[in-house]
Chains A and B, each alone.
Chain A
Amino acid sequence: MTPDGGIRARGVRRSFGPVHAVADVDLVAAPGRVTALIGPNGSGKTTLLLMLAGLLTPDAGTISVAGADPVTENYVARSRTGWMPDVFGTWDSLTAREVLTTVAAAYRIDAARARARAGELLELVHLSELADQPAHVLSRGQKQRLGLARALVHDPDVLLLDEPASGLDPRSRVDLRVLLRRLAAAGKTVLVSSHVLTELDEMADDAVFISGGRTVATRSVADGDVPREWRLTALDPEALTRWLDETGRAYRTESDGTGVLVELPGEAAAAALLRSAVGAGVDVSSLAPAGGVLEQAYLALEEERR
């Protein structure tokens, strides 16, 4: 990680009158990685992203985005940041193409380059056929994709995406995931907030959990084995539970009774479990993580807070 790339926020705080929207957030997002920002409704994700995007002044704390401080070097920070808001307002009389060329002009990109870039981005988000339709006829998901294209117009080093997957169909979600992975591979810093945790599981490298305006946990998703629950099903459930009882493993049956949940330290342990079960003559039909890492971590955190 280069010392001044990516996003670093330390002790960031912001309140609106009596509401402490962001009370104390520490966050590091490294270049070349996709970082997920996770938290319940009203936990301050949007407010935090606004501060990172240079739109809102933090009451306290320090922020560095792509090596620039959004408070003191706002202009430089803005030039390196692409921000996609959660509510996508659009100039409804403009066509999709004009929206992108206008934003490009606002980023001081010359007209010829802006036209080429708009065409490219429309293709990227599969809106080429609708390019010359007024933006207000676009569907919610199409608008969302246009919003993503808009955040990419000036090829920013840091991408701040506020719930980019909401309203997207499955195909577009896969596209989004591939796109973000590719951007990360190209050395960009990507920070995504979302409530679709299974989605984030597959695209995020790191996760930052915030709740009540505070950072409550920081996890790494991709690397290393994380202890978590796995779901195990067999053709004959009774044979399975008998074998588990015999080998003395802790397990619990699922409420709907289709399988059992086993807590395992990692993937190697899962493979070992499968081998020994099959060796013991149990007809295992599936063994897979129960829910995503993030979902489990999130629910565990919620549990702690109760």
Chain B
Amino acid sequence: MSVDVQTSPPAPSAAPAGRGTWSLSWHGLRTVTVLELRQRVRSTRWKTALVVWFLVVGLITLLTTGAFAILSGDGMADEPFGGIVYSIVVGFVLFLGLLVAPTLSSGAINGDRNAGTLATLQVTLLTPAEIVLGKLAAAWIAALAFLVASIPFLAWALAGGGVSWLALLTTVLMLAVVLGVVCAIGLGFSALVGKTSGSAVLTYLTIGGLTAVLPIVFGLLVPVTTSTEEVRVWDVEPGYTWEETTAPECEWQTHEADVWHSERTWWLLAPNPFVVVADAQPLGGDPETLADDGNMLALLQYGVRYARTGDNGEQDWCSYMVGSGTDSPVEPVVVTDQLVWPWGLGFDLLLGAGGVVVAVNRLRVPTTHLPQGTRVA
């Protein structure tokens, strides 16, 4: 007891009187982020995961490149195979990212509460918004580390040709934003649910809902969005029997036909992270020819834009019967150049923002409502 208690009373440095729940300061954010990152980085589990990630993505890149190099070496194709390798690697990185990101944030709040460290932060002068956004920043930075570890392989795939450097930029940017959204959703659930396993499951279910359930719903809605309508059809002349030796004449007729109005439900596909990443790519050339290269991102982009365009109201039932010689007056469907990703990303960002708002509200002090079965300390 040689030390005097009063040696240097560090009066809290001009704490602004009454900072509210949503007040933010750079200092507070940094404090929480640094704390979270220190906690995470020092646990060796995280470093191991990063190394494993690097090896797995590397292996996938190597295998795909190898496979396509052999194929093109056979002289089967002279085209650049970069597109297909690139799209496979991007898809794989996104897939793994969607698996890893929830683990980074879905235990951030309830895990701390169970360990008894959340209340210690809440009693300090940090505001709930600083705690939540600091934790989000830390989880996001950790997720971005995984993304950065994949960039060498993405760049390597680019070297195969067929994809522009600009595409790499937008892809990485979109991947980063999508991972951030996943972290935010996980954070929201971790504030809402008492057990870390529960919040992890809910986060995975949400991600699964966006990536798998919505497209399935889109598919199941096909009968509903298909209606029988009068359509102009470029058809074989009426009364033509196929025994005749002269080729049939084609002419315009009006028929009852089933028309699929995918333009009514395309938005179900938009929030899908894969769609967001694929659609945000700037495609140098015609999406159709790029899709022919086997660039699956281009294919996906073409697909959703096709769905958004919908039927143009005319059908050609004749030309292919008669032979390619005849010119068809039916315009081929011109895929819209309206973007799909801003809608999808907008929706995802709303989900993420919802997660943050829920978490901040749950961390408000003093607490009025406690989740069943939890103690503050």
Contacts and interface: CB of A to CB of B under 8 A. Distances in A.
B31 A109 contact: no
Contacts of A110: 13
A93 B39 CA distance: 5
B220 interface: no
Given A16-B370, A79-B125, A74 B10 contact: no
B325 interface: no
Nearest to B42: A93
B3 A108 contact: no
Interface residues of B, number: 47
A117 to B, nearest CB: 5
B48 interface: no
Nearest to B116: A89
Contact of A186 (B5, B11, B368, B370): B5
Contacts of B115: 89
Contact of B10 (A70, A91, A113, A134): A113
A288 interface: no
A26 interface: no
B1 to A, nearest CB: 5
A16 B368 CA distance: 10
Contact of B116 (A78, A87, A106, A178): A87
Interface in B1-47: 1-3, 5-13, 15, 17-20, 27-28, 31-32, 34-35, 38-39, 42-43
Interface string B171-204: 0000000000000000000000000000000000
Nearest to A73: B18
A78 B43 contact: no
A56 B370 CA distance: 9
A117 B123 contact: no
Contacts of A85: 116, 119-120, 377
A102 B35 contact: yes
A98 B372 CA distance: 33
Interface of A: 16-17, 46, 50-51, 53-57, 70-71, 73-76, 78-79, 81, 83, 85-94, 98, 102-110, 113-114, 116-117, 120, 123-124, 134, 150, 152-155, 175, 178-179, 182-183, 186
22 contacts: A50-B377, A54-B123, A55-B367, A56-B366, A56-B376, A57-B366, A73-B18, A74-B365, A78-B125, A88-B116, A89-B115, A91-B38, A91-B39, A102-B34, A107-B12, A109-B12, A114-B10, A120-B7, A124-B1, A153-B10, A175-B1, A178-B1
Given A75-B20, A93-B38, A110-B13, 10 more contacts: A55-B122, A56-B376, A57-B368, A85-B119, A88-B116, A103-B124, A106-B124, A108-B28, A113-B13, A123-B3
